[in-house]
Amino acid sequence: MRRTLLSLAVLPFTVGTSAIAQEGFIIQDKPSAQCSIHLCDSINGPTYAEDGSIVRPIGWESWVFIGSPLTPDALNGGKATFREFHSVYIEPSAFEHYRKTGEFPNGTQMVKVRNLLYQGDDCLDNDEETGACLAVSGWGYFNGEYSGFELTVKDTTRFDDPGGWVYLNFGEERPWMPTAEPFAATSCNSCHEANGADDFVFTQFYPVLRDNDPKLKQRAMTPAKADGEDDASVDVPSQLPSVLSPVPVDEAELFEYLQKGEYKAFATADAEAHPSAGPHLEYGDPVKVFFSDEVAQSLEEGYDLHPKGSALVKELYAPDGEQLVGWAVAVKTDEDSDKGKGWFWVEYMSTEDASQKPVPAGNGVGLCAGCHAGGNDFVLSHLPE
């Protein structure tokens, strides 16, 4: 039913755009985003061709990857409507805006690139019924040929379509068309409006947007309201209150504390050692992380900043996973993380000799803070399952 609708809709603009491509299209200046939402003018919106069609974005490969729905043919009567992997990306300035405000600004672009299931010679076996491929890593689904390129753009100042969103398809097989015209709103907008979790977008299927939606974090952090209290009066804290760190930062005290294993009393810890994704001691050597109660609660509730007094101890094991050979420690000594200066760091490469350290201990140690800056307020580990 829907497939028929789509293929009808594709026809007219296929003809239209190839004509433009032959003539060579003149690209209009990028529109200055005239929206009321602040930050809007810094959004890298799409490029419009002179006839008003939209130019296929170049460089989408380096946009923010947000999710990968998969609708295999095998589960859809032999031909899925949108074949088969969907890799969805959002333009980075729009992502930044969403992360800060929870809103998709005018100029937002999202790309959905499709791939067929890989069926090539590198499958050791193929299962016709499921479409699966046996690769060296086991039975599964792998990305094969590209099978489509779609774009959605939001601009309430430009489009009358519901929500200010327009949807485009640049073709199935490559080469994809250089420009496309938006579909009629009836083809795309109503399903997105009715079923997308946030402003026409299927954020429920995009873990990167779910995790970075400040509205969800706020909801988790907002205390239950007493009757009659209105939203405006709820003061949403940006981090949990400070506590005294259970882990001392005085080095002599700290080493003794570690040797005694007092951190093992923390309720939250990895059940077992697992390979480190960092250079503690070597990449891949087993480690086990212990979370103080406050940092565990803060991670659980999704705060962007952890409370002063948060502490993490990471046990470092020899490759056999049995012998403890050192510790890495991080303690938040200030409410403000100040580019890592609010965190105390130390790593001991010995359980007997406190002088065996790759770098001197202290606040804001560059080696540690630089890599940990990519974490959630400098914490890279996720809570154990």
The least distance separating ligand HEC from the CB of residue 345, rounded to whole angstroms, comes to 4
Q: Does 332 bind ligand HEC (CB under 6 A)?
A: no
Q: Which of 106/169 has CB closer to ligand HEC?
A: 169
The least distance separating ligand HEC from the CB of residue 288, rounded to whole angstroms, comes to 9
Residue (of 319, 318, 332) closest to 376 by Cα position: 332
Q: Does 288 bind ligand HEC (CB under 6 A)?
A: no
| Binding residue count for ligand HEC, defined by CB under 6 A | 49
Map residue 7 onto helix, strand or coil.
helix
Q: How many CA atoms lie within 13 A of 180 on its CB side?
A: 23
Task: Return all residues near 219 (Cβ < 8 A) that are at least 6 apart.
Answer: none
Which residue's structure tokens are 């327009």?
Answer: 166
Using CB under 6 A, pick the residue from 35, 43, 312, 342 that binds ligand HEC. Answer: 312
Stretch of 47-55, 221-229, 348-356, 365-373 contacting ligand HEC, by CB under 6 A: 365-373
Strand partners, 138: 135
Backbone phi and psi for residue 29, each to the nearest 5 degrees, phi listed first: -60, 150
What letter represents residue 240's amino acid?
L
* Number of CB atoms found within 10 A of residue 372's CB: 19
CA 131, 208, 47, 62: dihedral to nearest 10 degrees? -70
* Structure tokens belonging to residue 194: 């009715």
Using CB under 6 A, pick the residue from 45, 329, 348, 377 that binds ligand HEC. Answer: 329
Question: x/- contact string, 186-215, with ligand HEC (CB under 6 A)?
Answer: -xx--xx---x----xx--x----------
Q: Which of 73/234 has CB closer to ligand HEC?
A: 73
Backbone phi and psi for residue 161, each to the nearest 5 degrees, phi listed first: -60, 155
Site for ligand HEC in 209-248 (CB under 6 A): none
* Structure tokens belonging to residue 371: 């890599």
Q: How many CA atoms lie within 13 A of 309 on its CB side?
A: 13
Q: Does 110 bind ligand HEC (CB under 6 A)?
A: yes
Q: Does 314 bind ligand HEC (CB under 6 A)?
A: yes
Q: Which of 5/135 has CB closer to ligand HEC?
A: 5
Q: Which of 118/266 has CB closer to ligand HEC?
A: 266
Q: Which of 17/381 has CB closer to ligand HEC?
A: 381
Using CB under 6 A, pick the residue from 98, 167, 257, 348 that binds ligand HEC. Answer: 167
| Distance, CA of 40 to CA of 108 (rounded, Å) | 10
Q: Does 116 bind ligand HEC (CB under 6 A)?
A: no
Stretch of 36-44, 153-161, 227-235, 362-370 contacting ligand HEC, by CB under 6 A: 362-370
The least distance separating ligand HEC from the CB of residue 139, rounded to whole angstroms, comes to 23
Map residue 113 onto helix, strand or coil.
strand
What does each C-alpha distance from 296 to 16, 114, 269, 327 come to in angstroms?
A: 57, 38, 9, 19
| Distance, CA of 291 to CA of 140 (rounded, Å) | 35
The least distance separating ligand HEC from the CB of residue 372, rounded to whole angstroms, comes to 6
Task: Return all residues near 330 (Cβ < 8 A) that are at least 6 apart.
Answer: 311, 312, 343, 344, 345, 368, 372, 378, 379
Q: Which of 96/193 has CB closer to ligand HEC?
A: 193
Q: Does 169 bind ligand HEC (CB under 6 A)?
A: yes
Give the residues lining the site for ligand HEC (CB under 6 A). 2, 6, 69, 82, 86, 88, 110, 112, 150-152, 167-169, 183, 187-188, 191-192, 196, 201-202, 205, 276-280, 287, 289, 312, 314, 328-330, 345-347, 358-359, 365, 367-368, 371-372, 375, 379-381
